[in-house]
Structure 1
Amino acid sequence: MARLNANAYYIMTTLVITCGSIPKGYDEGGFSSATGLSSFKADYDLVPAHWKTNPSGLADRKANISSFGVLGAALGSLIAIVLCDRIGRLRSWQLAMAVWMAGNLLQTFASGILGLMLFARLWGGLGAGGLTVVAPLYLSEIAPARSRGMVVSLYMVVLLSFLTIGFFISYGAEQHMAATRMQYRLVISIVLVPTGLALLGSFFIADTPRWLASQDRTEEAIRVLSRLRHSSNGGGDSTAVAAEFEELQQQMQHKGEALKGLRTGPSSKRS
């Protein structure tokens, strides 16, 4: 119990950032199963009886609703690669989560307007895809080397858990709710509760020591690392923190030299 209290900040940070896997997992479980509800089919004209003369049109409509989210996720992951270094891991995480939540709300209240639903799927996908890059990166940069693999794997544990939970929520809604818009709206939007709490919690944590150090915010980086390792205020091992920070700086220096070599290598060969 004492150890749990001693590492409360680290545990909180890990839990908050790990929640970045919820959007992608729930999209594959909750949203995909919501599209199979009779209420959703009726609202978006996915009833097979209405497409007897054009079955391929029905297939295209179903595919577009699903694939626009995937397209957005692909674009979002590419954008996140750039944003992570420019505005930081934490701000990128917060931005991606906010974008996804906005997309989720649009999906919830699109009310049968196909064009709006497709835009919402694309917009929400941008956030979900960005989180697939930012969250694992953040976790890898705050975890101690000895437990880094386990901490990063929590991302997939939560993702798969919410994928499964999504199916159960959809099944429960189908069994116990009338086939109205409220049925599929509940299934799509209920995930905003845990993600909203995670977004709120993210304002009580700091960016990763590695990113802070890369921005020459050395004192802040050491302070955050000490807090993660519970080394401030007399707790933990300040010597171990100093050694870890020195190792971090060496890794960043080696990376910078390697990138510099890649940039100057071709030109030196031509000369």
Structure 2
Amino acid sequence: MVGLLHLKEDRPTPAAVYNWRVYACAAIASFASCTIGYDSAFIGGTLALPSFTAEFDFASLDKDTKALIQANIVSVYQAGAFFGSLFAYVTCHFLGRRKSLFVFSAVFVLGAGMMLGANAARGLGLIIGGRVLAGFGVGGMSNIVPVYCSELAPPAIRGRIVGIYELGWQLGGLVGFWINYGVNTTMQPSHRQWLIPFAVQLVPGGLLAVGALWLRESPRWLFSKDRRDEAMDTICWIRNLPRDDVYIIEEVNYIDEDLERYKREVGAGFWKPFAALKQRKVQWRFFLGGMLFFWQNGSGINAINYYSPTVFNSIGVTGTNAALLTTGIFGVVKTIVTIVWLLYLIDHLGRRKLFMYGTIGGSMCMWFIGAYIKVADTANRPVGSALDGGGIAAIFFFTYGLSSTVSLSSPARDAISSWNGTPWVLNSEMFDQNTRALGQASAAASNWFWNFIISRFTPQMFLKMGYGVYFFFASLMILSVVFTYFLIPETKAIPLEHMDRLFAIRPVRKANDTIMEELRLQDEEFRHAVEGVDLSERKEKVEMKENV
């Protein structure tokens, strides 16, 4: 238990800082990710319900036309989210994080409500239009929530706090996977049967809209707008410390220095972050942030989430009920692994190792599944036939290896990792105060762009490529290991105001240790300043060691 609770801190941190308030704010904000996770899980299963296919006469369509319609229903959501994530930069700049969350949650609720008006007579228009609007809402929220959580969190638990966003995603997904199984096994096919899964979307969206009224604004955003009294009140409330505590003074100094540096080098204002894109170091982080979501989607996890019944059918699980049950079990395992990731791995093992260990394990599982489908010829297996030992093993590897978006249990590290949540954590912390909202907008837009590509073309990929789909994703996973090892520094425990320095250090694998040593010396210098302790000789030794 000591190992679980031990944290790597950037400086001595009072126990009061790790209080319930920062967790409560993150949990309420993360109702946004519940809506995203629920959609990614429920939509594929709902489109496969006999009541839905019967109401909209899917039986009269050929395979290609049916796949196209299903892909359009799923993918317009991602298209709306792409534009919503970009527009959130505007609202974040002028309204702040809290009010922006309320606005986008209201847009989502409106879109979700529209979908409930669809039926056979009206056609699919209300579903498609509602999904565009709901997607716009979740796109904006996907930009705001990781940034908001990151700006509230103490450095030592920032991964855990931002990771609550990922936990909300998985909990929403868990409900989404099982809601379809529930209505399919307990209700007769009817209009109401498929309408219930669509209606459940309103629950997390409504809870977020109400909860946003209680949330506190990000103190870093308040400081950037020169609302210092409000910012000081908020940061003291979040940290549960008085204004004169040395931890508060030090944190505010970090924020002020970072803001002053940026105003001096670039300037403040709505358009100034765009001017910062002229700087190579800023361009580089925008590139890294976007590529993280390319590799995330390249793992195949979103294809699996959106079309899980199709995926399990390809392994040999036949029948709507059996496919929905298997996807429900898949959701349970994903959620359990995410909790382990959240409570321990993200702030202890770190971001780099999670990326690399998880990808290697997930790739091995994908190669096995593709090989099994090829050898067993599951496409030509009679409907209702029992799975053989290889099929059961394929499902085990699939569920275990991809349960948290590429998981691995390593004998050396005993690590279970996640490509689902870690890119969101890294993107929320790698930019400075003035480019953070724009950087997160770019990263979130990249996520939704690649989501759109995956959701739009996955049905066609399974029709044309068969088992080759799994080999395709497995190959991309291997390439992402090389990308991570050479280009991604470890960000755990590093204050947000020191990310510029972190990303400037080469080689990247040593960057975290170098910054942590510098921070330790800075903290000693700050705390011993009144005693006149001269640490210049020790600083010179550290610099000499770094140069060597």
The TM-score normalised by the length of structure 1 is 0.86
Distance 2:34 2:276 in 1: 41
Work out which of the residue numbers 103, 108, 115 in structure 2 matches 1:107: 115
RMSD value, Cα: 2.4
Specify the alignment match of 2:236 in structure 1.
226
Q: Which has the larger radius of gyration?
A: 2
Native 8 Å contact 2:27 2:165 kept in 1: no
AA of the residue aligned to 1:19: F
Q: Does 2:246 align with 1:239?
A: yes
Work out which of the residue numbers 25, 29, 33 in structure 2 matches 1:17: 29
Deviation at 1:194, TM superposition (A): 3.2
Specify the alignment match of 1:209 in structure 2.
219
What's the secondary structure of 1:20's corresponding residue? helix
Native 8 Å contact 1:108 1:188 kept in 2: yes
Specify the alignment match of 1:269 in structure 2.
none
Work out which of the residue numbers 53, 59, 65 in structure 1 matches 2:67: 59
Q: Does 2:47 align with 1:31?
A: no
Native 8 Å contact 1:226 1:238 kept in 2: no
The TM-score normalised by the length of structure 2 is 0.44
What's the secondary structure of 1:109's corresponding residue? coil
Distance 2:132 2:204 in 1: 22
Distance 1:228 1:257 in 2: 29
Identity across matched positions, percent:
29
What's the secondary structure of 2:230's corresponding residue? helix
AA of the residue aligned to 1:28: S
CA 265–172 in structure 1, closer or farther in 2 if over 3 Å, else same: closer
Deviation at 1:157, TM superposition (A): 2.1
AA of the residue aligned to 1:99: V
Specify the alignment match of 1:89 in structure 2.
97
Native 8 Å contact 2:97 2:218 kept in 1: yes
Aligned length: 256
Unmatched tracts of structure 1, length 5 or more: 267-271
Matching of residues 1-271 of structure 1 within 5 Å: 7-45=19-57, 47-48=58-59, 50-52=60-62, 55-112=63-120, 113-232=123-242, 238-260=245-267, 263=275
Native 8 Å contact 1:43 1:181 kept in 2: yes
Structure with larger RCO (C-alpha < 8 A, sep 6+)? 1
What's the secondary structure of 2:254's corresponding residue? helix
AA of the residue aligned to 2:70: K
Distance 2:19 2:69 in 1: 49
Cα deviation digits, residues 55-112 of structure 1 (max 9, x gap): 4332222111111111111111111122211211111111111111111111122224
Native 8 Å contact 2:102 2:212 kept in 1: yes
Native 8 Å contact 1:16 1:199 kept in 2: no
Deviation at 1:182, TM superposition (A): 1.4
Native 8 Å contact 1:108 1:189 kept in 2: yes
Cα deviation digits, residues 204-259 of structure 1 (max 9, x gap): 12210011111111100110111101125xxx973322221221122222233343
Deviation at 1:169, TM superposition (A): 1.2
Unmatched tracts of structure 2, length 5 or more: 1-14, 279-548
Which region of structure 1 is more displaced relative to structure 2, 85-94 or 56-65?
Answer: 56-65
More helix as a share of residues: 1
